[in-house]
Each structure stands twice: as C-alpha cells, then as structure tokens.
C-alpha cells in the first residue's frame, strides 16, 4: 500500500510540472509594478458594422480580444528588464510559436509569430523591445481566424472610431515619468 501511495505521489508531482507559457507570463507579470497589462475587446473599434463588407464582418467576428503587456524601462530596473526580455524570448522559442516576421535594428527589435497554422490562426503574437524604453508583448486572440482575416482587419482599423477611453491606461503608463 505504501508503494502505491509513493507511486501516486510521484506521478502527481510529475504531472504538475509547470511549463512556462505566454499566458502564465502575462498573469504573473501583470501583478508587478513595472508592467502594464491591458485586455482590449474588439468593441474598442467602435465601428458601424453596416458599413462593412461581408468579408470585413467575417474578419471582425474572428477577432475576440487583444492582450497587451508592457514593461517600461527606467534607470533603476535595467537588470530586471534584461531578465524579463530573456524570459519572454525563452517562452517564444517554443515550437508552438511559428515566426512570421523578424525585424532587427540597433537597440531595438520586433517579431510577429502565430500559434496555429496557415489555415487557422489561434493567436498572433507581437513582441517588440527597445533597450532604452522597454518592451511590449501583444497577443491577438481569435476564433477561427484565417490569414486573410488579418489582412481584412487592417482595413477595418482604418474605418474604426477607436474608443480612446479603453486606451487611457496604456497612454497614462507610457507618459508616466
């Protein structure tokens, strides 16, 4: 009986192994004062759907929300910034994230990745960092998103009347000294 209990305990501990994930990183980091975490619903677009084409309506329905996590760097948190960027990059190395675009420059870089495949996208992830400002990770979550929906979404953005009230936390965070 003791062997069975020990075996069950070991099995339970092995199954509870916590693998890092972007979602867990968002939750953990959103509680820290150096971070800003914002969830933005598709309602931010404040768009008159009657003025959209059928393909634009379909694309709009495929987008559920956007999660934004930003780290603002200052003179006092350089070591933390370095550690946090390293942690995000380590998470994004997972094969779940398929790279689409990588941009590198002096002191800054950005990448766009997707979770899913070329037929159906579960999530778009944008990661950008600039050594003197900080970094941002953006998760665009959807339901039955198709690559063509992403392109349609950009045309929808041009027709939108953004609800700036939902963006106030981001603007305040960026402008905070």
**DSSP class of 17:** -
Burial (0-12, 13-18, 19+ Cβ within 10 Å), 26 = middle
pLDDT tens digits for 54-63?
888 888 888 8
Q: What is the pLDDT of residue 100?
A: 86
Sign of CA dihedral 152, 155, 159, 160: positive
- Across the range 86-90, mean pLDDT stands at 96
Q: What is the pLDDT of residue 129?
A: 92
Task: Compute the distance between CA of residue 70 and CA of residue 40 in angstroms, rounded to an integer.
Answer: 14
First to last CA, the chain: 62
């Amino acid at each position: 009986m003791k062997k069975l209990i020990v075996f069950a305990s070991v099995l339970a501990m092995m199954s509870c192994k916590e693998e890092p994930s972007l979602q867990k990183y968002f939750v953990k980091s959103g509680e820290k004062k150096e971070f800003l975490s914002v969830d933005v619903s598709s309602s931010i677009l404040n768009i008159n759907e009657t003025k959209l084409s059928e393909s634009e309506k379909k694309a709009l329905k495929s987008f559920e929300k956007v999660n934004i996590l930003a780290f603002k760097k200052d003179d006092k948190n350089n070591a933390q910034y370095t550690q946090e960027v390293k942690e995000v990059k380590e998470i994004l190395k997972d094969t779940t994230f398929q790279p689409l675009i990588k941009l590198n420059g002096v002191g800054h870089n950005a990448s766009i990745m997707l979770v899913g495949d070329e037929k159906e996208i579960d999530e778009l992830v944008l990661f950008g960092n600039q050594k003197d400002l900080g970094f941002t990770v953006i998760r665009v979550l959807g339901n039955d998103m198709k690559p063509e929906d992403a392109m349609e979404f950009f045309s929808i953005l041009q027709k939108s009347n953004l609800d700036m009230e939902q963006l106030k936390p981001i603007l305040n965070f960026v402008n905070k000294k």
